[in-house]
């Protein structure tokens, strides 16, 4: 019996939610809004992306998901939560919450790949999973698919879950019934802007990356000269205590208050043991095999490698 598109969508949603997703929405594929393209172009032209040159190279690819999957008809936006109330020694440097577990690229792909194979077998359609790995404006498509509301700090906020989640996309050439796009916005309280150590959040919701602790501790090339505007963030109290990433603008957001008060995930993060070994052991005593074993599967691999290399 041939399945109707609504039934196919319902089955896919049920499978995705069973894999741990907290939100699922579908948007009709097509070219992105020219207003978004214009904002992105102005951000690039103003140097907001700092040294992340791949954003410049992929500028035109972002304007249509067909550049990623030719013939795409639907963009399925999916959110997986990553909030964890980590218990670790205060002496360890700060790490963004998303990076405290296993590398999310691998985790989410392992969740979605089998579902895609089942979906393809069921429908004969083609699919592609994008987990922060393709020139797709994720937050744009999340709002087009009806997931959440736009935050002033550039995040997408899901009522009841806040903004502590990973966005990913499932592209398919099967036309699925689209959901109602979201035009909701946050409460515009201004706390995210006021709390940012480097004053990195612009009025239009974009970031001045050279002022952002996340960029400075994850993406910045340490061999490049450090501009004065970056020192504001790095030499702040928060910057001096940070190793990798920043959650400040999310932690102060009132839309995250409920989950911050909850007892969600109180399991110590796997990265705590990794950090303790790297910071407390003599790096000279760690063989290459030991280093591989210690850091394998963590999003912190680059930062820890640099830390190890720079230690006496």
Reduce the secondary structure of 203-241 to three states and give it as a string.
CCCCECHHHCHHHHHHCCCCCCCCCHHHHHHHCCHHHHC
Q: Among positive and negative, which fits the CA dihedral 93, 96, 101, 106?
A: negative
CA dihedral for 17, 21, 25, 29, sign (positive or negative)? negative
DSSP letter (8 states) at residue 140: H
The pLDDT of residue 1: 44
Phi, psi of 149, deg, nearest 5: -135, 160
Residues 6+ apart with CB under 8 A from 272: 86, 88, 89, 92, 100
- Measured CA to CA, the distance from residue 112 to residue 15 in angstroms comes to 9
Render pLDDT for 4-44 as a digit per residue (tens, 0 to 9).
Answer: 999 999 999 999 999 999 999 999 999 999 999 999 999 99
Q: Quote the CA–CA distance of 194 and 83 in Å, as a whole number.
A: 23
Catalytic residues: 132
134-182 pLDDT, tens per residue?
899 999 999 999 999 999 999 999 998 999 999 999 999 999 999 999 9
| Residues with Cβ within 8 Å of residue 22, at least 6 apart in sequence | 79, 80, 81, 158, 161, 165
Instruction: Using pLDDT thresholds of 50, 70 and 90, give the confidence band for residue 205.
Output: confident
Residue 87 confidence (pLDDT) above 70: no
Q: Which of 45-59, 115-129, 193-207, 281-295 has the lowest mean pLDDT?
A: 281-295
Residues 127 and 112: beta-carbon distance below 8 Å: no
Average pLDDT estimate for 101-106: 84
Q: Give the span between the Cα atoms of 14 and 10, in whole angstroms.
A: 6
Residue 290 has pLDDT above 70, yes or no: no
pLDDT over 80 (residue 305): no
Task: Map 10-67 to HEC letters.
Answer: HHHHHHHHHCCCCEEEEEECCCCCHHHHHHHHHHHHCCCCCCCHHHHHCCCHHHCHHH
């Amino acid at each position: 019996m041939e399945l109707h598109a609504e039934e196919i969508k319902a089955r896919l949603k049920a499978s995705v939610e069973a894999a741990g997703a907290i939100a699922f929405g579908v948007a009709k594929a097509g070219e992105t809004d020219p207003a978004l393209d214009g904002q992105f172009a102005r951000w690039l032209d103003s140097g907001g992306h700092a040294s992340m040159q791949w954003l410049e190279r992929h500028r035109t690819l972002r304007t249509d998901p067909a550049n990623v999957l030719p013939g795409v008809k639907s963009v399925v936006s999916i959110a997986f939560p990553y909030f964890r109330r980590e218990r670790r020694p205060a002496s360890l440097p700060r790490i963004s919450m998303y990076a405290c577990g296993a590398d999310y690229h691998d985790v989410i792909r392992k969740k979605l790949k089998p579902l895609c194979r089942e979906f393809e077998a069921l429908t004969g359609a083609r699919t592609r999973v994008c987990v922060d790995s393709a020139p797709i404006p994720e937050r744009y498509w999340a709002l087009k698919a009806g997931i959440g509301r736009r935050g002033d700090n550039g995040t997408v906020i899901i009522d009841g879950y806040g903004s502590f989640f990973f966005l990913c996309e499932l592209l398919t050439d099967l036309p699925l019934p689209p959901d109602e796009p979201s035009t909701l916005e946050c409460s515009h309280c201004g706390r995210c802007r006021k709390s940012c150590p480097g004053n990195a959040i612009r009025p239009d919701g974009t970031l001045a990356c050279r002022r952002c602790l996340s960029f400075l501790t994850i993406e910045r090339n340490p061999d490049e000269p450090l501009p004065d505007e970056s020192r504001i963030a790095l030499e702040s109290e928060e910057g001096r205590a940070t190793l990798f990433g920043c959650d400040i603008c999310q932690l102060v957001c009132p839309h995250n208050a409920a989950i911050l008060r909850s007892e969600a995930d109180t399991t110590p993060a796997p990265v705590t043991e990794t950090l303790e070994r790297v910071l407390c052991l003599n790096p000279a005593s760690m063989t290459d095999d030991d280093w591989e074993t210690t850091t394998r599967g963590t999003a912190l691999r680059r930062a820890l490698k640099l830390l190890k290399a720079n230690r006496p």
